[in-house]
Structure 1
Amino acid sequence: MKTLYDVQQLLKKFGIYVYVGKRIWDIEVMALELDHLYKAKIISNKEFVSAKLVLTHEHKIEELKIKKLNNGGGL
């Protein structure tokens, strides 16, 4: 699993579609859904860890974008 799209496809296998409206919120909800799947022993440890790494990476990217915009992104 390498991309956010891959994580979306994993969730889709279980009928989980996430769209909240902001990308960072979508990532956070996907992480929660992933936690639930793992706790229910529906996905493997390997799938869980791989997907969590992707989500953590994407979340950090979004946080940096937001921080840049809030710190006078136009200059």
Structure 2
Amino acid sequence: MQNLHDIMQLLKQYGTFIYTTDFLGDLHLMEDEVKELYKMGAIELQHFQMAMLILRQEATKYEQKQHRSVD
């Protein structure tokens, strides 16, 4: 797992599609879904950790971009 697309493909394998008009909200929903997959034992710890890292990095990048556009 290397990027957001990979996480979306992982979720898609389990029938989860997250597309709203709120990108940051989508990232949080994806976090919740990844946590549930891990709790159910559907994904390994390494994949869980990598997915969470990627999602949080994406959220940080988005928030910084939004902050810059306000300035």
TM-score past 0.5 threshold: yes
What is the root-mean-square deviation in Å for CA atoms of aligned residues?
A: 0.9
Give 4+ residue runs of structure 1 displaced > 2 Å after superposition: none
CA drift at 1:22:
1.8
Counting aligned pairs with the same residue, the percent is 32
- Corresponding residue number in structure 1 for 2:55: 55
**CA separation in 2, counterparts of 1:51 and 1:29?**
13
**CA separation in 2, counterparts of 1:31 and 1:46?**
15
TM-score, normalised by the number of residues in structure 1: 0.87
- Corresponding residue number in structure 2 for 1:36: 36
- Corresponding residue number in structure 1 for 2:4: 4
TM-score, normalised by the number of residues in structure 2: 0.92
Within a 5 Å distance, the mapping from 1:16-27 to structure 2 comes to 16-27=16-27
The one-letter amino acid of 1:10's match is: L
How many corresponding residue pairs? Answer: 71
Higher helix fraction (1 or 2): 2
Structure 1 unaligned residues grouped into runs of 5+: none
The one-letter amino acid of 1:23's match is: F
1:28-49: CA deviations, max 9, x gaps?
A: 1100111111111111101101
